Structure 1
Amino acid sequence: MTTARLRAWWAHRQGLDGTLRGASAAEVLERTGWARSVGGSAPYLGLFARAGVRRAEVDADVARLAIHELPSARGCTYVLPEADFALGLAAGAGAPEGELAAAEKHLGVTRTEIDKLCEVVLGVLGDEPLDPAKLRTAAGDAVRTLGDAGKKRGVTTTLPLALGLLQAHGEIRRVPVNGRLDQQRYGYVRWMPRAAPSDVDVELARRYFAWAAPASLKHFRWFSGRTVAASKKAVESLDLQAVDGTDLLLTKEIAEEFQAFTVPGKPSYALVAGIDGIHLLHRDLSRLLDPADAQRPAPGGKATLGAEADPPCHLIVDRGRIAGLWEFDVDAGKIVCQFFGEEDEALREVVAATEEFVRDDLGDARSFSLDSPKSRAPRLAALKA
């Protein structure tokens, strides 16, 4: 077992070796895992890198609900395929319940009050999206302001508590105001409640180890947000095997394919977001970094790259290894790269294709909703240097 083989395998399972070219967005998400979304370009970049899917295709799939952005594992938003809507919602249902419990404890909110507000919201909403301001107006006195105490806890009114519960139950959903995933302005519409799988944790573990194996129990705990005990129980029925000399686990079916896998002899480059699944499914950055690269200074920061929990920039990946960093310079309409080695023609072709995609389809490659050309300037300067 070598590090290079593990990395190349992870890249292969993630479809970053060209094996998913021509697949639909839903097919990519089913096979490689849910795409983390924080109002940035990560879902678009990941789908383009894996299957060449353009933004118009992704937006059309969102509009027809072939894929959708939903609160899922750990209560975080991911873009999911339709087949996983119910599982994703069930996996994230604990987050809004926790928020309500905290509001009951610290803000004098009651469950009865929020349940009544949920009924009002459902009565107000229909097929036409209402943004939070219009929804609050329509709900009237059923929405209560939580004063300074609420502001300190980031909950200014009772409306977000109700919306969180209704989303987790699938009774409402958020609709991007312009149909795009790389922003965080939404309206809300009625939806259909979805029955959760009989054993959410087992099904989540089954999906996870199909996307991310070999992975450790610790990696699964990070992704799922489950406790040690719940994680161990979830994987019991999966009959996982350990990779010799490691704490990494995989199923028997995947183990056979893994044993037959060999590292490609030629580079296979992909430009993805810093929160792409190749990193975030495990959130163990050091496994993708060569020791020498881990000592490089993090662009725009004070620490080394290896000391970061998450990449400070978007990633250039070659057979699973982080081979460089990149950002998009909006003013120049160009990608700015720092490559950890000698550039070749294959890399230049991938950079050019991604650059054209970002410029023509997205307009920018924001890491998250508040990322901007101004806030990105120190990282761009460091990459150019």
Structure 2
Amino acid sequence: MIPLPELLVDNDPMTPEPLTAQTPTANIPPARTLTPDRLRAWAWHKQGLDGSLAGSTAEEVFARAGWARSVGGANPYLTLFARAGIRRDQVDADVLARRILELPAARGCTYVLGREDFAWALKLGKDAAEAIRVLGRLGVDRGEITLLEEQVLHTLTEAGVPLDPRQLKDELGDSVRNLGEEGKKKGATTTLPTALGILQSQGRIRRVPTNGRLDQQRYGYELWNLPASPLADDEVRVELIRRYLGWTGGATLKQSQWFTAFTVAQSKAALAAVGAVEVPTALTDAGGGGLWMLPDDVGRLAVFEEPAEEQIQLLAGTDSLVLLRRNAAELLAEEGPEGEKIDRQVVASLALQADLPDHPILDRGRIIGLWQYEPGEERIVPWLFHGPTPAVIRRIAEVEAWIREDLGDFRAFSLDSPASRQKRIDALAESAAARSAAVGK
């Protein structure tokens, strides 16, 4: 799987005072009842993976479950198929109609999100000032970048069609400065990416997939001129925390900081503004920390009942269920259906990894296996931690058919390829065979 950023180290020099819960204690479920199984099922429900989003539009899915991380992989497509059964042709049509788009948002990372969030989410993008500071150390002043921005806009206006970075560079000629070896060391080969990034963060241009698909990273740029959000920076932070807690059903302070990149002080202010409540869980005493939740969700969790029947899903390793809190270890359990024991070494090995090595197979929020797609054989290669049930076999077949018919392959990120993942495919097949042999003894 694509390596993801390490947890952000907080910039604040001092630990803040604890936030004050505003919900009556009587409404908070007892910590002993908030077991890992119950919390997994609760997050599963909040993510709409229990069938509650069936028939929804892509915009509705992203509003309820959160934005879909896009790194040139197929996660946005599977996010929508798993929750609402939306096929790729509809997703691509929604992108073309600008009902959903891939934009830089939280932490400056790209996500696919609905149109109601475009303007304010862009304000969450990586601060252009940092890129300007890097160029400043290379002898490029702000005026030069401002001029280049205007030239980019003029060039796109004249072209009337999207232009990719190479085409733009050719058209702009000497206006794009090559920053040499020193620039390469600082991640700035030329001045063009900074100008494009600033214009995109302002909504004046946007990236367009060259073939209309989200599971690749070849883009052109076109004029956009999106009206700016009226929200101030602190209001944007409050809105993101509100959405984030709604998407997750609750998260620790550190988990929220990883996703938002807010400082402790900013996080504290945003949590207070939405009236967030810290809810102790069965993991709190073990150092897991309480979950900060929206007040309404505290009451809903108190009466929430875990599903009795299997709910099987195959998701991407960057699905919101896993990525929003980056807590794959908490989604693992040492028991399968009806108390069937799982190899403790398997659980321990996966729990030590910040990110899963493959895509997860889940049942009601619990990881029960891993998978990869092998395009040469047009098949999913699964490794289940326990024996397959009819529901698991059926869902694997459904997702396998969908990948074959809609995508042709399932890439985790832009540089993922059948050759690069073959070792992982072989390892999954070997692990599955070893388990079958052990069960057969």
Measured against the shorter chain, the TM-score band is over 0.9
The alpha carbon displacement at 1:100 in A equals 2.0
Q: Deviations over 1:271-299 (max 9, x none)?
A: 110010000000122111125567328xx
Matches within 5 A, 1:1-385: 1-94=34-127, 96-105=128-137, 107-126=138-157, 127-196=160-229, 197-198=231-232, 199-245=235-281, 246=284, 247-291=290-334, 295-296=345-346, 304-385=349-430
Q: Deviations over 1:147-199 (max 9, x none)?
A: 11112222211000000000000000000000000000000000114323231
Aligned residues of 2:134 and 2:186 also touching (Cα < 8 A): no
The alpha carbon displacement at 1:360 in A equals 0.9
The one-letter code sitting in structure 1 at the alignment partner of 2:346 is: R
- Following the alignment from structure 2 to structure 1, what is the Cα–Cα distance between the partners of residues 92 and 253? 35
Aligned residues of 1:314 and 1:325 also touching (Cα < 8 A): yes
- Following the alignment from structure 1 to structure 2, what is the Cα–Cα distance between the partners of residues 285 and 334? 25
- Following the alignment from structure 2 to structure 1, what is the Cα–Cα distance between the partners of residues 353 and 209? 32
The one-letter code sitting in structure 2 at the alignment partner of 1:354 is: V
Q: Secondary structure at the match of 2:426?
A: helix
Aligned residues of 2:69 and 2:112 also touching (Cα < 8 A): yes
- Following the alignment from structure 1 to structure 2, what is the Cα–Cα distance between the partners of residues 101 and 267? 53
Aligned residues of 2:316 and 2:359 also touching (Cα < 8 A): yes
Aligned residues of 1:294 and 1:307 also touching (Cα < 8 A): no
Q: Mark the CA change 1:363 to 1:108 in structure 2 (over 3 Å): closer, same or farther.
A: same
| TM-score relative to the length of structure 2 | 0.83
Q: Mark the CA change 1:200 to 1:293 in structure 2 (over 3 Å): closer, same or farther.
A: farther
Aligned residues of 1:295 and 1:306 also touching (Cα < 8 A): no
The alpha carbon displacement at 1:38 in A equals 0.3
- Following the alignment from structure 2 to structure 1, what is the Cα–Cα distance between the partners of residues 345 and 58? 36
Q: Deviations over 1:103-135 (max 9, x none)?
A: 212x22211111110010011113410011111
- Following the alignment from structure 2 to structure 1, what is the Cα–Cα distance between the partners of residues 151 and 386? 59
The one-letter code sitting in structure 1 at the alignment partner of 2:304 is: F
Say how many residue pairs are matched.
378
The alpha carbon displacement at 1:93 in A equals 4.1
The one-letter code sitting in structure 2 at the alignment partner of 1:6 is: L
Q: Mark the CA change 1:294 to 1:190 in structure 2 (over 3 Å): closer, same or farther.
A: farther
The one-letter code sitting in structure 1 at the alignment partner of 2:319 is: D
Q: Secondary structure at the match of 2:401?
A: helix
Bigger Rg, which one: 2
The alpha carbon displacement at 1:86 in A equals 1.1
The one-letter code sitting in structure 1 at the alignment partner of 2:406 is: D
- Following the alignment from structure 2 to structure 1, what is the Cα–Cα distance between the partners of residues 121 and 258? 15
Moved more, 215-224 or 57-66: 215-224
The one-letter code sitting in structure 2 at the alignment partner of 1:190 is: L
Q: Deviations over 1:70-102 (max 9, x none)?
A: 0110000000100110121001141x3312212
The one-letter code sitting in structure 2 at the alignment partner of 1:25 is: A
The alpha carbon displacement at 1:140 in A equals 2.0
Unaligned ranges ≥5, structure 2:
1-33, 285-289, 335-341, 431-441
- Following the alignment from structure 2 to structure 1, what is the Cα–Cα distance between the partners of residues 344 and 154? 54
- Following the alignment from structure 2 to structure 1, what is the Cα–Cα distance between the partners of residues 190 and 167? 14
Q: Deviations over 1:190-247 (max 9, x none)?
A: 0114323231111111111111121111111111111111111111111111223441
Q: Deviations over 1:330-354 (max 9, x none)?
A: 1100000011112111111111110
Aligned residues of 1:100 and 1:161 also touching (Cα < 8 A): yes
Q: Mark the CA change 1:232 to 1:129 in structure 2 (over 3 Å): closer, same or farther.
A: same
Q: Deviations over 1:9-61 (max 9, x none)?
A: 10111111111111111110011100000000111111111111100000000
Aligned residues of 2:42 and 2:249 also touching (Cα < 8 A): no
The one-letter code sitting in structure 2 at the alignment partner of 1:327 is: Q
Unaligned ranges ≥5, structure 1:
298-302
Report what 1:300 is aligned to.
none
- Following the alignment from structure 1 to structure 2, what is the Cα–Cα distance between the partners of residues 206 and 251? 7
Q: Secondary structure at the match of 2:346?
A: coil
